[in-house]
Amino acid sequence: MLGVRGMATERQLKDRMIGTANIHKITKSMKMVSAAKLRGDQQRLVAATPFGRWAGQLTGPKQNLEELDVSHFPAHNLLVCCYTDKGLCGGVNTILSRMVRNLCASLDAQGKTYELVVYGDKGRSQLQRLFSEKISRSIMNRNVPYTFDLACGLAQDCLNEDYEGVHVLYNSFKSAIEYVPSIKSITPMLDNNADALNGYAMIPKKHPEILLNLYEYTLATQIYHSLLENATSEQSSRMSAMENASKNAKEMIEKLTLQYNRARQARITTELIEIISGASALEEAK
């Protein structure tokens, strides 16, 4: 026989109130921690922005993933996806994963090949089911805050194989309440007469290692700048998520308090009725 669910008892409501209050304290503390980390990430991002802007002049501007046209992509591509290692940060990872799936579907439709390099544990867990054969490397548990040495090591991993184009996918930081899934495309620099190199003097001319070194540096710079933007977006999104969670917990505590007071008042009223009824019965018995 199935049990019938009844009204919550005072003890159950009290336990829920205590549990929700503890959650409210945790989310409020996490919001304050994220706010402090956000200030540090913003400072590092501001310091790295001039280098990212200079590298963007050579490799091209970033693009919005929602409005991306893959017709100009080369035949063989490497997609570098920047995720977070920790959760509780809103839709930073899920939105980027949806964009990655759409991008891969567009590349498949045009017959272009690609491989994935995933930075962050959350990205690996989200993409593993659909793209297990396409993921060439997964980098997790990275030390924070991110350094340029880390970006150089990640860039060197990307250069171990020959790709016609490297594309960095990340969340571009706009403000404390806004971030945009974006992509930066970096193509290997093989031509001394490329339009992006106009205005630059190359000494000695046509030296084969100069373009290679420049390509390695711009790739590392773009990866570093993308990691900082994604880290800043992570903290801003986590701060907003924890603020919403704290607000919801506070509202739930108020509702539970109202239910608890009603249940307590109903119990007291029932006890008074029982006392009065018992006293009346004794009077009638006399």
Clarify whether residues 233 and 98 are in a common domain. Answer: yes
Specify whether the CB–CB gap between 180 and 93 falls below 8 A: no
Residue 269's domain is classified under what CATH number? 1.10.287.80
Using one digit for the tens of pLDDT, what is the confidence trace for 4-55?
455 678 888 999 999 999 999 999 999 999 999 999 999 999 999 999 999 9
Do both 253 and 166 map to the same domain?
no
User: 93 and 39 in one domain?
Assistant: yes
Average pLDDT over all residues of the chain: 89
Domain limits for position 209: 35-239
Judge if 164 and 275 occupy the same domain.
Answer: no
Structurally, the chain folds into a number of domains equal to 2
Regarding whether 197 and 77 lie in a shared domain, the answer is yes
Judge whether 62 and 230 are in contact, CB under 8 Å.
Answer: no
Residues 112, 224 within the same domain: yes
Nearest one of 242, 127, 233, 126 to 181, comparing CA atoms: 233
Using CA atoms, how far apart are residues 210 and 200, in angstroms rounded to an integer? 12
Residue 28 lies inside a defined structural domain of this protein: no
The answer to whether residue 46 is domain-embedded is yes
Coil, strand or helix at 130: helix
Read off the pLDDT of residues 266-285 as tens digits, 9 standing for 90 and up. 888 988 888 888 888 877 77
Residue 256: CB atoms within 10 A of its CB come to 21
CATH of residue 128's domain is: 3.40.1380.10
DSSP 156-192: HHHHTS--SEEEEEEEEEEETTEEEEEEEEE-----T
Which residue's structure tokens are 């704290």? Answer: 246
The domain boundary, picked from 204, 222, 239, lies at 239
Report strand pairing: 63-64 vs 178-186.
Answer: antiparallel
Single pTM value for the model? 0.87
Q: Please, how many CA atoms are within 13 Å of residue 103, restricted to the half-sphere of its CB? A: 32
Mean pLDDT, rounded, for 227-254: 95
